Structure 1
Amino acid sequence: MSPMKRIENTVLTVLTLLAALVWIFPLYWTFVTSIRSDENVAGNTSILPDEFQLKAYLDAIFNTKLTVWYVNSIGTAVIVTVLVVLISMLCAYALSQIRFPGRRLLYGIVLGSFMVPAQTLVVTQFVLMNDLNLINSWAGIILPQLIAPVVIIVYKQFFDSVPKEMREAVVLDGGGEYTILFKVFLPLNWGITTAMSIVTFIGVWNAFFWPFLVVTSEDMMTIPVGITQVNDAFGVAYARLMAVAMLAALPVIVTYIIFQRRVTEAIMISSGVKG
């Protein structure tokens, strides 16, 4: 390796480490704040942990509805992930493998949905959920989050690349469309399915805006919304708030650590589609 190349690699490594430190510092500060007492949080500007206690975590677990919020978040995230993957897979298969009138128009609508900001649909979605009496319900939280054009396009691109001979062989053996999809195509794309499932789950777990609008009862709140309810009689309890934030981020952190490669693949795939 030439000296110039070695210098470039060193500079890139240093810049990457600096970017990582900038990214991880808020998480570190949250943890340091969560292990302090509420009395010691106000006015304390030290970035080093000067005390270690779990009072804020115990308080968050036993004096808030954290477990209820966890159940709500897990339930909505799992249901949305399963439905998004299943619906997107079926839609993509139809657009890719089945010839029917209006197929190109329908695919054009899916592509055109990227041009519509999600925020512009909030009012109409809220009015619709209210008319259906789905406010403060899991259905009200879940249904508007089932729209995932990126997942449809990713699946369609994969289905388009599958050799037509495989489909024709199954048809000759008497297999139907569901047999082709679930017994031939699906085993070939477990990597994409896993990656899309992980990213969808993380996105739904972190969703705040829509659950915040459609839920007013604490018993129906998800963790991102429930964090806003963590306070006491004297105002915001910062240590307990940071403890709840750390506990809320824990599943996402663990998921990323375990499935880091799949998450990276999914982000790259989604970025390529959007680009």
Structure 2
Amino acid sequence: MPPAGPRRRRPPEAVGAPLLLGHGRLPRVLAGGALGIFALLWVLPFVWTLITSFQRERDISSPGFNPIKGALTLDAYRQVFDRGTLPIWAFNSILTAGLITLITIVLSTLAAYGFSRGTFRGRRALLAVTVASIMVPPQLLMVPLFQEMLAFNLVDTYWAIILPQVVAPMMVFILKRFFDAIPRELEEAARIDGASDLRVFWSIVLPLSRPIVSAVSVFVFIGAWNNFMWPFIITSDTDLMTLPVGLATVEDAYGVAYAQSMAAAVLAAAPLIIVFLFFQRRIVKSVATTGLGGS
């Protein structure tokens, strides 16, 4: 028998190479096909909503599987703008979501830095309570929060919408995880130069935390923008309604109109899509650097 030749070694995987189902072309094709199917399942409802919003009501109700059943028109968008005070609701959503995001970031970063670097008594117990509060369903807090706003005479005000939403235990935990990974030597060097704790936090910690702060800001903004239950409970004045609440009242007042409902959904989702497109890289980077993706 001829002597066996040297065994061919499998090339080592490059550092940072993507995790696939195996080596070769077939696993790559299978992985790409699976990802394409999942992407199609996510995009298809939005495409259907967008197409429906540009059609007339009588065309939508006609039978057939063709998604475009008539001439495309802007009638649904015109009717949504005419029948509701949409600019006021959009302004209310931008104002409340913006202030909620700003106040939440200030409170959450300070609290997370205190949990990460603080040595005060009861820190572990307070951190445990903060983490445990994540598991409390928000629906259980609706009645106590409403009674609190009623006691402070804040019902039907912007502050009634904003204040109960600025406490975000999950964001405190995420920021604390990131602050724990920042080398303490940088802060100690600044303190040797005479910097105070607030100066260290503002000049060293926050600049190093821009990716996670940006991601948390996007998460908070999206949650505040999409929040329907609390603004619906705490406001009855039409001029104080946010966009999700206002669009729901238009739908209830004028009956079910599919084209108008889809147009309202597109208008409500458009700002969130724009925000995500601008900050998607920082969101992915923050999840990767904090290790939350595999925790």
Q: Distance in 1 between matches of 2:129 and 2:72?
A: 55
1:246 correspondence with 2:246: no
Task: Please report how far the alpha carbon of residue 167 of structure 1 lies from its aligned counterpart in structure 2 after TM superposition.
Answer: 1.9
* Counterpart Cα distance in 2 of 1:77 and 1:3: 45
- Residues in 2 aligned to 1:229 and 1:270: alpha-carbon distance in whole angstroms: 41
Distance 1:266-1:170 versus aligned 2 partners, 3 A rule? closer
**CA distance in structure 1 between the partners assigned to 2:92 and 2:157 by the alignment:** 10
Correspondence 1:127-142 to 2 at 5 A: 127-142=147-162
Q: Describe the shift of the 1:205–1:44 C-alpha distance in structure 2 as closer, same or farther (beyond 3 A).
A: farther
The verdict on how the C-alpha distance between 1:241 and 1:115 changes in structure 2, with shifts beyond 3 A counting, is: closer
Out of 195, 201, 218, the position equivalent to 1:175 is 195
Give yes or no for the alignment of 1:208 onto 2:228. Answer: yes
| 1:79 corresponding residue in structure 2 | 99
SS at match of 1:230: helix
- Where does residue 25 of structure 2 map in the other structure? 6
Shift of 1:233: 7.1
Greater helix fraction, Structure 1 or Structure 2 = 1
Please, which moves more after superposition, 225-234 or 4-13?
225-234
Q: Cα offset for 1:224?
A: 1.3
Q: Secondary structure at the match of 1:200?
A: helix
Q: Which residue of 1 aligns with 2:85?
A: 65
Structure 1 residues 59 and 266, CA gap change in structure 2 (3 angstroms): farther
Aligned length: 275
**8 Å CA contact 2:53, 2:262 repeated in 1:** yes
TM-score (norm 1): 0.90
Kindly indicate whether the alpha-carbon contact (under 8 Å) linking 1:66 and 1:244 is maintained by their aligned counterparts in 2: no
Residue number in structure 2 paired with 1:31:
50
For the 8 Å contact 2:83–2:250, the answer to whether it is kept is no
Unaligned 5+ runs, structure 2: 1-10, 12-20
Say yes or no: does 1:41 pair with 2:60: yes
Q: CA RMSD in A?
A: 2.5
Which structure would you say has the larger RCO, counting Cα contacts within 8 Å and 6 or more residues apart?
A: 1
- Which stretches in structure 1 are left out of the alignment for 5+ residues? none
Is residue 35–residue 54 contact of structure 1 (8 Å, CA) maintained in 2?
yes
| TM-score of the pair, normalised by structure 2 | 0.84
Structure label with greater radius of gyration: 2
Query: How far did residue 229 of structure 1 move?
Result: 1.6
More divergent stretch after superposition (38-47 vs 178-187): 38-47
